[in-house]
Structure 1
Amino acid sequence: MTYRQRISLFIMIDSCIVLSAIFISMYLASINLQIGSYPALVAMLTILFCHHLFSTKYKLYKKVWEYASIQELLIILKVVSFSVISAMVIQLLLFQEVQFKLFIVTWLLHMCFIGGSRFIWRIYRDSVLNRSDNKIRTLIIGAGSAGTMVARQLLKNNESNLLPVAFIDDDPRKQRLELLGLPVIGGADAIVSSVQELEIDHIIISIPSLSKKELNKIFLECAKTDAQTKILPFLEDLITGKVSINHFRDVQVEDLLGRDPVDMDIESISEYINNKVVLVTGAGGSIGSEITRQISAFHPRQVILLGHGENSIYSIEMELQEKFKNSQIDFITEIADVQDEVKMMTVMRKYQPDVVYHAAAHKHVPLMERNPEEAVKNNIIGTRNVANAASQNNVGIFVMISTDKAVNPTSVMGASKRLAEMIVQSMDKESNTKFVAVRFGNVLGSRGSVIPLFKKQIEKGGPVTVTHPDMVRYFMTIPEASRLVVQAGALASGGEIFVLDMGEPVKIADLAKNLIKLSGNSTEDIGIEYTGIRPGEKLFEELLKDNEVHQEQVYPKIYIGKTTELYIDDINQIIKNYNVIEADTLRKYLLDLANNTIIHEHRTVVSI
């Protein structure tokens, strides 16, 4: 049906409705007026004309009535009321009297007939066309505005195969009530029983404001059922129109383990990055590449992407040039190894950076345990080379990326990062450059992290290998870790170790179970195998030693650790002799020094 045909049909139907309403109201109201009389004709014609006039004004004929709601009902109320009032005014002006009884009954019938003619199509569509015989019974978690939108979309979308059955909401004021004809049956503790009683096959979490901790709690309840769990798309994707309200996505491990993000101090960050030259070592890695993305949003003049792997550096260069093609940022690549002292000095002298982020490092615990000399070369000597070059070329701020494994280290990797921290802190005492370090825990999805390994194992059918059932780790997302690093540069006074309040640690075994559930499997299908703690690993990680802890936050969720003793002479001895020391001896020496347990008769201790 064309638009013109549709409008003509509505005008014809409405004309019949208006005239019928007046005729019936005259009969019901026992108005002693002859139909052919002048007042009756005037009333009929006035209401009919005004109805079409106000229908056009309020676009009543342009509404899609299969999606009719309160808004459409209010428009009908305006059209009918203004039409009847206009007729009353005309009758008063022409005949000096108004048949109130007639117009009241006409108004009531007019509303019923017009409203009924519109809403009967929606009733027919919902009850007949949208038959639920073959639809998937769905439980919606969240009876707020987002949950209501989801339910409405699913109810009116004939193409959707999901049928909303009920709501879950922790607000006691909503429980035991009905919303869009669907009951709100309880809080999160009622999820398991509701799925069983209502034969639910699908669960949709539709609370955009949900914190990570609350989402994790809800998902753990959903995981106790056999229902498939989905979540509302990201709010920014809905706002920008990338996806619609009924495009649900899988719950991701980042949703469960990622913490609520720390807001950045945009002004202070912009002050030290905007229009400056910034160099990032390890720019092709997980953290280094994300740092370049974050800082590029603050419009530096130049970004130097330094890394050892040409493919990863090329990849991040192409990405940044495409993403920031309308900016004036000059992206420069340098293929270089931080172990090359001369090259580091050459690069610093050539570009004269204002800020350096040092993200290049070996981080794989078992591999460094077997190759301690490589940890010394890359993590200790590499850090010293970059830091020396930065200091001698008057870099303003130097931010080193460290790890929670540097606290009471039991691994070569952790020990090498702790000694690298000491180098940076010591250099801060003798340089105009502000040297700081940033510690954080495991990063979700980074290269060599446990999550990509678990996903590969699940894809192969299992089992998922976990070292110990009680092993716990702190987790954060790559963007959050990078934000912390960037924010640390703005907070730097020199010599600090910044630590993020990372919340509660997560059991690796629970992480494995969640990933198995998210993949659509069960732990019976994909087994979990405990392989034993590997060399250098701890059951739990720490972010600060007891004697390093400052209780007050320097920024929301960011702490500064107290500085302990720095053993620079011993570190220099390691750098000088690491290649002639046996691996086992070197491993023990690194751990003893990093844990402050080594004793020499002639040692120099640099204290801050």
Structure 2
Amino acid sequence: MHWSRQALLAALIDLALLATAWWLAFWLRFNLDMPDDFQAMMVHALPVPLLAYFFSLLGWRVYRHIWRYTSVAELIRLVFGVAMGGLLVAATVLMLRVPNFPRSVLLLHPMLVLLALGAVRILARLLLSGGTQSAAQGKPLLLVGSVQDAAIALPALRSAHQWSVVGIVSPLAVERGRSLQTVEVLGALDELARIARETEASAALVVSAPGSVARREALVGASEAGLPLLTMPRPDEWLRAEAGTLRKLELDDLLGRAPVALDEKGLSQLLAGQTVLITGAGGSIGSELCRQVARFGVAKLVCLDVSEYAVYQLEQELRAAHPQMRGLYYTANVREPQRLLAIAQAHLPKVVFHAAAYKHVPLMEDLNEVEALRTNVEGTLNAARVAGQVGASRFVLVSTDKAVNPTNVMGASKRLAELVMQGVARMHGTTQYVAVRFGNVLGSSGSVVPLFTQQIARGGPVTVTHPDIVRYFMTIPEAAQLVLQAGLMGQSRQIFVLDMGDPVKIVDLARMMIRLSGKTEGEIPISFTGLRPGEKLFEELLADDETTEPTPHPKLRVAKVSGLQSVDVEAVCRWIDNAGPAPDGAALRQWLQSQVPEYRPR
């Protein structure tokens, strides 16, 4: 190894301690009164332990450690080094057959060495890191979570010095009164407001797992105490300048779940060096797909959206984040098959992700029904045909949970889009066609989150359609990652559904957002407006054992869709084309029901 000045100093200190421990072992063996002949034996035999322990510690890489950051892992390595050194000394002394050598020294010496070397390292860490006194100079901070969760966050906080941890608030009643590195568990979550006042805490850091009940309960207590809620930086934020700073708790942290485990190797083989086309690339899901795909080193990323501004924003972001990637940005409409075909023929994409769609239920339910058919159904037909015509290996349709037993035009149009995709799949056997259904995505355009944010900013009221309405939620990155995973593992004509976790009451979502804004329901009222046309009170559970089958990925299941259900793709296309600019709404719904028998208009 390369010897730095610190490593040489550590080795010299260790050798001095080894010699001292050798003398002390003899001294203790003879009850503090060592005979002269044994003093000579001790001096003559000293090179043996010095060499044995030095090479043993060197072999266990003990001198690579930095004493300032000594931890349990370093101490364990030291134990092995000392044990090996003790065995080497014993073996050498026994092989040399030193006459009258006190064998108890061979047992005492390793224990004294371990005590001395371990103590000096721990002392160095305490002195060099400043102990707990430097941390006490920071702003008072409470940790919200179990002792196990707090143990992970505490070292990072103490090294940052801007925070002084004054206590832990645990969701586990049995942990009250316990302490972690001198930090005491002061109480339970329902006592957060009282504890915050007593400790004069400036903020509370939530260290419990994302999506846990503890996080949501902490939000209530923090709101009552007027206490800012913080959380640790995300993994990508550790790589940037603000890595050491805590960030405000966000809605994603309350409703999100453990990170999705992706088949990175398989996705890299599918996407690296390939051309990928994404429609609806400017939308919330489409743009996140672009970000995720760009990570895998695609040769070309063809981004297509009807919105000029959305394409411009996406272009600026991706060029800054991935300057080495060749991105091509088109303003085009999936309802124009010739334009779509021309773009695809120019670049010959290997994988096509089709995210372009109209998805706002009330808006598509009245006045715009035919637009839902033209974009969601005919647009999917065009994109699927083009993927087959240019020889793409995979086509992935982004669908929705509202396609399950639809009660509205938007959901029925997406179910018909799935059927159309399956019809096109029969014509192009070399292309794998799959669809992915998922529920509401936090922060996506048209979702309740941006609406609630605007209403809270205006001072309320926050409008909820019904006190009992529930929905399934996931974050935008989670949804995009699972779309990629389904595209990798899917077989043609399969429809995947995502494990959306537990449903969330919309009124609870509204309350969480109000409290995250630092307000209470007294300041920002909630009003109930009644269900809108085509809206369900409960969405069907998408990932149960009765309606789906498992896959190798724990968050993906395959929908049990009847193989007998099919549509005449050409007839569907003709009807939409012949519908005219303003077809009768009742006639449109009647025709849509003939194509999607499970559609039940409300």
Q: TM-score, normalised by structure 2?
A: 0.72
Q: Which amino acid aligns with 2:417?
A: A
Find 2:348's aligned residue among 334, 348, 352.
352
Matched, 1:419 2:422: no
Name the residue aligned to 1:460. 458
Does residue 199 of structure 2 align to residue 203 of structure 1? no
- Give 1:52's aligned residue: none
**Deviation at 1:195?**
4.9
- Counterpart in 2 of 1:376? 373
Give the corresponding residue for 2:577. 575
Match of 1:85?
A: none
Q: 1:184 to 1:393 in 2, by over 3 A?
A: same
1-structure distance, mates of 2:163, 2:137: 10
The structure with more radius of gyration:
1
Residues 389-413 of structure 1: CA deviation (Å, up to 9, x unaligned): 3333333322221111122222222
- Give the counterpart of 1:282 among 280, 283, 292: 280
Q: How does 1:158-557 map to 2 (within 5 A)?
A: 160=162, 162-166=164-168, 168=170, 170=172, 176-184=177-185, 190-193=188-191, 195-196=193-194, 199=198, 201=201, 202-207=203-208, 210=209, 212=210, 215-226=211-222, 227-235=227-235, 237-238=237-238, 241-242=239-240, 247-326=245-324, 330-372=326-368, 373-432=370-429, 433-542=431-540, 550-556=547-553, 557=556
Give matches, 1:65-76, under 5 Å: none
Q: Give 3-state SS (helix, strand or coil) of 1:203's partner.
A: strand
Counterpart of 1:559 in structure 2 is 558
Structure 1 residue 440: Cα displacement = 1.0
Secondary structure at 1:376 match in 2? helix
Aligned equivalents of 1:464, 1:279: Cα separation in 2 = 39
Of stretches 303-312 and 344-353 in structure 1, the one that deviates more from structure 2 is 344-353
Q: Distance in 2 between matches of 1:522 and 1:293?
A: 36
CA contact (8 A) 2:302 2:328 kept: yes
| Matched residue SS, 2:281 | coil
Q: Distance in 2 between matches of 1:64 and 1:381?
A: 64
Residue of structure 2 in register with 1:108 after alignment: none
**Which residue of structure 2 aligns with residue 138 of structure 1?**
142
Deviation at 1:514, TM superposition (A): 1.0
Return the offset for 1:505: 1.5
SS, match of residue 552 in structure 1: strand
Letter in 1 for 2:567: L
Deviation at 1:194, TM superposition (A): 5.8
- C-alpha distance in structure 1 between counterparts of 2:357 and 2:122, whole Å: 67
1:425/1:495 contact within 8 Å kept: yes
Give the Cα separation in 1 of the matches to 2:428 and 2:70: 71
**Pairwise CA distance, 1:287:** 1.4
Taking a change above 3 Å as real, the CA distance of residues 154 and 382 of structure 1, as seen in their structure-2 partners, is closer
**Residue 148 (structure 1) aligned to one of 151, 160, 167:** 151
Given that residues 151 and 164 in structure 1 are in contact (C-alpha distance below 8 angstroms), is that contact kept between their aligned partners in structure 2? no
CA shift, 1:288, in A, is: 1.4
Moved more, 507-516 or 404-413: 404-413
1:331, distance to aligned residue in structure 2 (A):
2.1
SS at match of 2:220: coil
TM-superposed CA distance for 1:479, in Å, is 1.7
Give the conservation status (yes or no) of the 8 Å contact 2:142–2:169: no
User: Matches of 1:118 and 1:402 in 2, distance apart?
Assistant: 59
| Alpha-carbon contact 1:141-1:203 (below 8 Å) kept | no
Distance 2:264 2:32 in 1: 75
Q: Is the 8 A contact 2:138 2:164 kept in 1?
A: no
Give the Cα–Cα distance (whole angstroms) in 1 for the partners of residues 121 and 270 of structure 2: 62
Indicate if the aligned counterparts of 1:443 and 1:449 stay in contact, CA closer than 8 A. yes
* Residues 590 and 181 of structure 1: CA distance in aligned 2, closer, same or farther (over 3 Å): same
Q: Cα–Cα, structure 1 residues 276 and 175, in superposed 2: closer, same or farther, change >3 Å?
A: same
Note the C-alpha offset of 1:130. 6.4
**What residue is the counterpart of 2:104 in the other structure?**
none
Change (3 A) 1:118 1:513: same
Q: Would the aligned equivalents of 1:205 and 1:230 in 2 still touch at CA under 8 Å?
A: yes
Amino acid at match of 1:229: L
Distance 1:147 1:415, change over 3 A: same
Q: Deviations over 1:192-220 (max 9, x none)?
A: 1365357354432225xx3x4xx430012
- Paired with 2:470 and 2:182, the residues of 1 have a C-alpha distance of 45
Deviation string, structure 1 residues 153-174 (Cα, Å, up to 9, x no partner)? 656x7963544223537496x6
Aligned partners of 2:135 and 2:162 also within 8 Å: no
Aligned equivalents of 2:343 and 2:353: distance in 1? Answer: 14
Aligned residues: 573
The verdict on how the C-alpha distance between 1:244 and 1:384 changes in structure 2, with shifts beyond 3 A counting, is closer
- Quote how far apart the aligned CAs of 1:122 are: 11
Displacement of 1:442 after TM fit? 1.1
Give the Cα–Cα distance (whole angstroms) in 1 for the partners of residues 572 and 537 of structure 2: 29
Q: Which residue of 1 aligns with 2:36?
A: none
Consecutive unaligned residues in structure 1, runs of 5 or more:
1-6, 12-17, 19-28, 32-57, 79-111, 600-608
Q: How do 1:19-58 and structure 2 match up within 5 A?
A: none
- Given the superposition, is the C-alpha separation of residues 344 and 130 from structure 1 closer, same or farther in structure 2, using an over 3 Å criterion? closer
- Give deviations 1:330-374, integer Å, cap 9, x for gaps: 322222111222212322333332222211112222222233222
